[in-house]
Amino acid sequence: MDIPVSFDRCARATFVVYFRLSGCRRSPELTVVCLNWETASRHGERWIDHHRLRHRLFVERQGWDVPTYRGMEYDQFDTPAAQYLLWLDERGRTRGAVRLLPTVRPYMLQTLWPELINGTPPATDAVWEATRFGCDRTLDANRRRIAVTELLCAMQEFGMRRNIDRYLIVMSLPLLKRVVVNAGCEVTVLGPERILGKRPAAASYLTVSREVLAEMHRRAPFTRVLSD
């Protein structure tokens, strides 16, 4: 099985990532793109659509009390240090997203919920935090599954390219098992669930490795789609 492990750095590429499920009827364009503050201007409405998607998911649907502006959600962790993986539909619109932050910079768990971890929250280039993970609820169940799986695989590829060992994620345990573990990810739960706002959530590590990506491919075979 061919497992990619090395790509150009996100800051230098317009399209970087990575996959399309085998057998899916899609356009030949890439399904996931990586961008940041330096490259956002190359992506037109995709960057703005990502913030609108977050508003629909986290403000309108879940009722989070977070900053908004004209139907777009943002917070203090949307900084130049953040990297964003965006899942695109056949028309190139952003329908899924996840934000990645190195733990050597201020990040959400460290700042808002350090009690979720016993001990000191990580601060190393080898551990990044993954937040604002979600996909458009107007997609049907099968397309949501595809979007989520492709985003998780793209996280593995991005992590291997950046020499990341683990992601730190905060999610309810039932959702963690249904979405992340069932996709083939290797997860270590760091403590019991606590109520954050209105919902229970726990902190977990998500391992980044060639073996994890191979298992994800085994469970949901992919066709690689790479940038030129």
What is the percentage of the chain residues whose pLDDT exceeds 90? 67
Q: What is the mean pLDDT of residues 6-17?
A: 37
Q: What is the pTM of this model?
A: 0.85
pLDDT score for 221:
57
* Residue-range definition of the domain harbouring residue 28: 10-224
Burial of residue 2 (number of CB atoms within 10 Å: 0-12, 13-18, 19+):
exposed
What pLDDT band is residue 211 in, cutting at 50, 70 and 90? Answer: very high
Residue 2 lies inside a defined structural domain of this protein = no
Residue 130 lies inside a defined structural domain of this protein = yes
Residue 102 lies inside a defined structural domain of this protein = yes
Residue 4 lies inside a defined structural domain of this protein = no
- Is 80 exceeded by the pLDDT of residue 62? yes
101: domain CATH number is 3.40.630.30
Sign of the torsion angle spanned by Cα atoms 56, 150, 133, 182: positive
Residue 98 lies inside a defined structural domain of this protein = yes
Number of domains in the chain: 1
Q: Nearest to residue 98, comparing CAs of 159, 34, 145, 146?
A: 34
76 phi, psi to nearest 5 deg: -75, -5
Check: CB of residue 47 under 8 Å from CB of residue 72: no
Q: What is the mean pLDDT of residues 8-23?
A: 39
pLDDT score for 19:
42
pLDDT score for 17:
45
Residue 5 lies inside a defined structural domain of this protein = no
pLDDT, tens digit, 9 for 90 and up, residues 64-85: 888 899 999 999 999 999 999 9
